[in-house]
Chains A and B, each alone.
Chain A
Amino acid sequence: MITFAIGLSIILLFVILFLLFRIGTLASIFRGSTKQAAGTTKTSNRINGTMMLLFLFVGGAAFAWSFIESWDEMNQPLASVHGEWTDSLFWTTMIIIGIVFVITQILLFIYSYKYQHKDDKRAYYYPHNNKLEVIWTMIPAVVMAILVFAGWKTWTNITSAAPEDAVVVEVMGKQFNWMVRYPGPDGKLGVAKHTLIDATNEFGVDFSDKNAQDDFMPREIHVPKGKPVLLKIRSRDVIHSVFMPHFRLKMDAVPGMPTKFWFVPTKTTAEMQNETGNPDFKYELACTEICGRGHFAMRFIVIVDEQEDYDKWLSEQKPFIEQNPGVMANFTAEPQKELVSAKKAEVPAQEVKTEL
């Protein structure tokens, strides 16, 4: 019954709208405004001209208000060194484009309003002005050159080779979660191969490799504050993308092509909890490359510690093979040859990474 009533009222609404439309059409024929060229009638000019101004002022005000209103929310708390560079470059660029935005939009709507049709007026025949055109080609060119230079410097700094003493963390994407591996006390990650992956050994680590013996896989990323951290990123199935919004950090995880990103965290999780006033604040890692059904749920926690807490945490971690002694069974009988070939395969990849 209610559906019927809703349906009926919608139909009635349409009928009324249609009638209004017909009446409007007939009235304009009666007034004779249909004889004038389209867009030259007084009503059309007045209404659309006013709307242009209204749109400019009301729209501009609404934009300004909503921008200020969302300011705190749109600025994610910042916790990395290079994030400060990109944030300041971002807002500098925003100011520049903001100025252009305001000027051009104002001119557009004001001109539209001011130069609306008048019967006794003629437009000004003004086909070109070379001087003017050269000026407004040069100005954007110069501004762009400056922005390119600033962007290029920042970009080169961010993507430069990681310092030797950086804390190395391997991040691997898979459908649909992240996994991390630390190199352990020897500072070297063991060789891994996708053919070695099984339900326990999800990284496909070759545990016959000496470097792999002390590797461990924690449930959260811990990094020390103020120290460079090098993320070695890879994927084992489809493309994922490591995104840590608070560190202004993003890098795709590509199967078959290891990538990397290094950064320096500047605030511990505890400090950030104080600063934001949110005792539950956590640094998060999200996926930003569409990867399937669970793309939206690949959340991982990153914790920034003071150096001593980090060291304490490190000392508590047990190597993977100690926790899962069963995995070694697959490797004891393995012939030494395969290990050599696997190592060979890994070496060029490492080189590529350092070149990057």
Chain B
Amino acid sequence: MSSTDISINHDVHHAHDDHHHDQNFFEKYIFSQDHKVIAKQFLFTGIFWAIIGGFLSVLFRLQLGWPEATFTFLEPILGGWVENGKIDPEFYLAMVTMHGTIMVFFVLTAGLSGTFSNFLIPLQIGARDMASGFMNMLSYWIFFVASIVMFISLFIETGPAGGGWTIYPPLSALPQAISGSGMGMTLWLVSMALFIVSQLLGGVNYITTVINLRTKGMSMTKLPLTIWAFTLTAILGLLSFPVLFSAALLLIFDRSFGTSFYLSDIYIAGEALANTGGSPILFQHLFWFLGHPEVYIVILPTFGIVSEVITTNSRKPIFGYRAMIGSMLGISVLSFVVWAHHMFVTGMNPFLGSVFMFLTLIIAVPSAVKVFNWLATLWRGNIRFTTAMLYAIGFVSLFISGGLTGIILGNSALDIQLHDTYFVVAHFHLVMGAAAFFGMFCGVYHWFPKMFGRLMDEKLGAVHFWLTFIAVYLVFMPMHYIGIAGFPRRYYNWTGFEAFNMFTDLNTFISIAAIIGFGSQFIFLFNFIYSIFRGRRATENPWHSNTLEWTTPVLPGHGNWPGEIPAVYRWPYDYSKPGAEVDYIPQTVPFSETKSSNLPYERDLE
């Protein structure tokens, strides 16, 4: 710790004297240890992956929307994977797998937490930088290597991993079973192992920073909800990712060294394998022990971001600050004891099913509290429809729609029919896919001025929001109907089944909506890139917000604040306080300066 402090003081001097000449290009932009640059690196990489992941979804939606069509025009992109205009069924599975892996891990974990935890933690708690800038840099560059490995796997001859993003063995363990389980799966595992290392380095850093580097006066109960969310996310990641690591390690052993952790009694490709005594169910337990906290790793940061944006733009304090923290704590703890609700019909002991149903449905309570509190925050507000606010409202809507069906899927008796159908696809895409994306957009639009010193265009932002919002609902609402009918996931084609072949029109409709939704993201992309260079110049605090990051210069330099770090006197949500001159009082304003608006118990603090 002491060495870190010294280097921070060192930076302060430089920031103060405006000397940046000792940093060359590489130190400043590539191997930077500045949390803001690292955040932007995560953001750019995340956006890159989101485009790839989204593009893959458009490709397989083409197949699902027009199962009888020929796609010769895809040959220039997909090459040998399109034969006589037909997409290869194994490549279809590989696309589904990669879409899931990319979106869940590379975009909504690294891209989301990586960007906003890095950017906001030091700025909102009043720190010069992360506890360890070097580890932070390592975290990004290991993620970068993981990205490269995963990206390469898209182009190898046997195709990328194709066993679903959950990579259940034996399918993922046996190259005889599917060609994606050859080299593609090896690269997947290597990439994910690196990814986990990156996550752990990042997570340790976030937690340490929040615990140790808060500025004077910034007690835990004065922290913005974003910081609470990021901290809990990091704790979840720290506890659950190592389990995925061990699961992946055992899978590597089974694949390459002839062990039988997950394999038993298998006859495949004309021969009986010697493996015996293993259990594929073991892998599922290990995988979902990460996999379920993982969905909260994806959604918790957006809880924080959305709370912050809603309260700022409603010009009202967040309703039930402590309840919000309490519900996030509750969700975090519960997220570790619900994993087997993904496994109700795997042949697991039904008694376990009952226990996990009980625990799963409990988690609906803190989630409901959060929604009610957001609604109460909007009530009698003075709402500014900034693009970020639109996305926050959209987030709440999607979170409700997707979250409610979780009550059905968490019920083991109902899960029998719905497991692995499009009902599940609709549920998790709404609640953790689209909702988390909305949270991410919300954050990008809101903190863009602090990142780049310029504003994104609000009109384009609104157009982007409405197109995306409508497209998301058009894609995922009809999926519920298909799912109730039992239409299974990961089907290349359903026309062979009488039970499922009546939804041709609906599938085409979904595909068209998906393509429109994907297309509208280019509006964002244009707005984003254009605004970095040509956007309107921002002021220090364009949204009239209370939190600390808005007390920094328009473009905070290395060390964030020129001069001393401001001290904090109050909670971050004093919006529209009766008796105050303006409708916001930043955290740095002492109570002695706001005598007209202080509440009775605050008078002692004057």
Is the pair A155, B357 in contact by a Cβ cutoff of 8 Å?
yes
- Say which residue of A21, A105, A252 sits within 8 Å of B345 (CB atoms): A252
Beyond A116-B383, A117-B384, A158-B413, whether A236 also contacts B266 by CB under 8 A is yes
Query: Is residue A55 within 8 Å, beta carbon to beta carbon, of the partner chain?
Result: yes
Report whether A112 and B378 are in contact in the complex, using a CB–CB cutoff of 8 Å. yes
Q: Does A94 contact B (CB under 8 A)?
A: yes
CB within 8 A of A292: which of B177, B317, B320? B177
Q: A73-B502, A256-B264 are in contact. Are A123 and B349 (CB under 8 A)?
A: no
A340 contacts partner chain B, Cβ-Cβ < 8 Å: no
User: Nearest 8 CB-CB pairs, A to B?
Assistant: A256-B264, A39-B384, A259-B347, A159-B350, A245-B486, A124-B380, A48-B385, A154-B413
Decide: A123 and B382 in contact? CB cutoff 8 A: yes
CA distance A301 to B63 in the complex (A): 26
- Tell me the nearest residue of chain A to B401, going by C-beta: A101
Closest approach, in angstroms, between the C-beta of B162 and any C-beta of chain A? 8
Find chain A residues with CB under 8 A from B365 CB.
Answer: 137, 140-141, 144
Number of residues of chain A lying within 8 A (CB) of chain B:
118
Cβ contacts A to B, 5 pairs, < 8 Å: A48-B385, A116-B385, A137-B368, A158-B413, A290-B163
What sequence of 0s and 1s flags, for each residue 233-261 of chain A, a beta carbon within 8 Å of any chain B beta carbon? 10011110101011011111011111100
Q: Of A76, A86, A123, A124, which is within 8 A of B413 by CB?
A: A86
- Measured between beta carbons, the chain A residues less than 8 angstroms from B268 are 175, 236-238
Of B112-120, B146-154, B462-470, the one with at least 4 CB within 8 A of chain A: B462-470
B170 on the A face (CB < 8 A): yes
Contact at A245–B485, with CB atoms within 8 Å? yes
Q: Which residue of A lies closest to B344 (CB)?
A: A155
B496: interface (CB < 8 Å): yes
**Inter-subunit contact A128/B361 (CB<8 Å):** no
B482 within 8 A of A: yes
Q: Are A63 and B317 in contact (CB under 8 A)?
A: no
Interface residues of A in 66-81 (CB under 8 A from B): 66-67, 70, 73-76
Cβ < 8 Å to B, chain A residues 104-144: 104-105, 107-109, 111-112, 115-118, 121-129, 132-133, 136-137, 140-141, 144
Task: Name the one of A236, A254, A280, A297 contacting B498, with C-beta atoms under 8 angstroms.
Answer: A280
Assess whether A38 is in contact with B383, with CB atoms less than 8 Å apart: no
Q: How far, in angstroms, from A202 to B381 measured CA to CA in the complex?
A: 69
B511 to chain A, nearest CB (A): 16
- Using CB atoms, name the residue of chain A closest to B530: A21
Q: Which residue of B lies closest to A260 (CB)?
A: B347
Minimum CB–CB distance from A19 to chain B (whole Å) comes to 13
B542 and A248 contact, CB distance less than 8 A: no
* Interchain CB contact (< 8 A) of B400 among A28, A85, A90, A101: A101
The listed residue (A37, A47, A86, A123) touching B462 by CB distance below 8 A is A47
B420 lies within 8 A of A289 (CB): yes
- Contact between A108 and B400, CB atoms less than 8 A apart: yes
* B320 proximity list for chain A (CB < 8 A): 127-129, 133
Shortest distance from the beta carbon of A274 to any chain B beta carbon, whole Å: 16
Contact indicator B89/A296 (Cβ below 8 Å): yes
Which residue in A86, A124, A132, A295 is a CB contact (below 8 Å) of B492?
A: A295
**Residues of chain B in range 254-269 having any CB-CB distance to chain A below 8 Å:** 263-268
A257 with B279: CB separation less than 8 A: yes
Q: Are B497 and A299 in contact (CB under 8 A)?
A: yes
Given contacts A115-B314, A115-B383, 9 further A-B contacts (CB under 8 A): A97-B404, A128-B320, A133-B373, A136-B369, A204-B267, A237-B177, A243-B420, A257-B347, A292-B171
Name A107's closest neighbour in chain B (CB-CB): B375
Compute how far the CA of A118 lies from the CA of B576 in the bound complex, rounded to whole angstroms: 13
Residue of A with least CB distance to B495? A296
A243-B577 contact given A47-B462, A66-B477, CB 8 Å threshold: no
Taking a contact as CB atoms under 8 Å apart, the answer to whether A51 and B576 are in contact is no
B280 and A128: CB pair below 8 A?
Answer: no
CB pair B419–A37 under 8 Å, yes or no, is: no
Q: Does A25 contact B (CB under 8 A)?
A: yes
> Within 8 Å of chain B (Cβ to Cβ): is A52?
yes
Q: Mark B62-97, 1 if CB is under 8 A from A, else 0.
A: 000000000000000000000000000110010000
Number of chain B residues close to chain A: CB under 8 A: 126
Of B25-33, B191-199, B452-460, B587-595, the one contacting chain A is: B452-460
Chain B nearest CB from A26 CB (Å) reads 12
Docked CA distance A304–B382 (Å): 63
Closest to A199 in B: B270
Cβ contacts under 8 Å, B264 to chain A: 255-257
Checking B93, B383, B411, B578 against A151 with a beta-carbon cut-off of 8 angstroms, the contacting residue is B411
By a CB distance below 8 angstroms, the chain B residues around A286 are: 488, 497, 499-500
Q: Which of A47, A128, A140 contacts B364 (CB 8 A)?
A: A140
B536 & A239 in contact (Cβ 8 Å cutoff): no
- Across the interface, B346 reaches (CB within 8 A) one of A38, A45, A66, A254, namely A254
- With A128-B319, A136-B372, A236-B266 given, is the CB distance from A290 to B390 under 8 Å? no
Contact with A along B311-341 (1 / 0, CB 8 A): 0011111111111000000000000000000
Q: Does A13 contact B (CB under 8 A)?
A: no
Contacts of B536 in A (CB 8 A): 34
Q: Which of A151, A239, A243 has the most C-beta atoms of chain B within 10 angstroms of its own C-beta?
A: A151
Taking a contact as CB atoms closer than 8 A, the residue among A51, A59, A141, A288 that contacts B419 in the complex is A288
A7 at the interface (CB under 8 A from B): no
Q: Give the contacting residue for B378; candidates A90, A115, A141; CB below 8 A.
A: A115
- Choice from A59, A124, A148 contacting B361 with Cβ under 8 Å: A148
Contacting pair A38 B542 (CB below 8 A): yes
Taking the complex as formed, is A40 at the interface, i.e. its CB lies under 8 A from any CB of chain B? yes
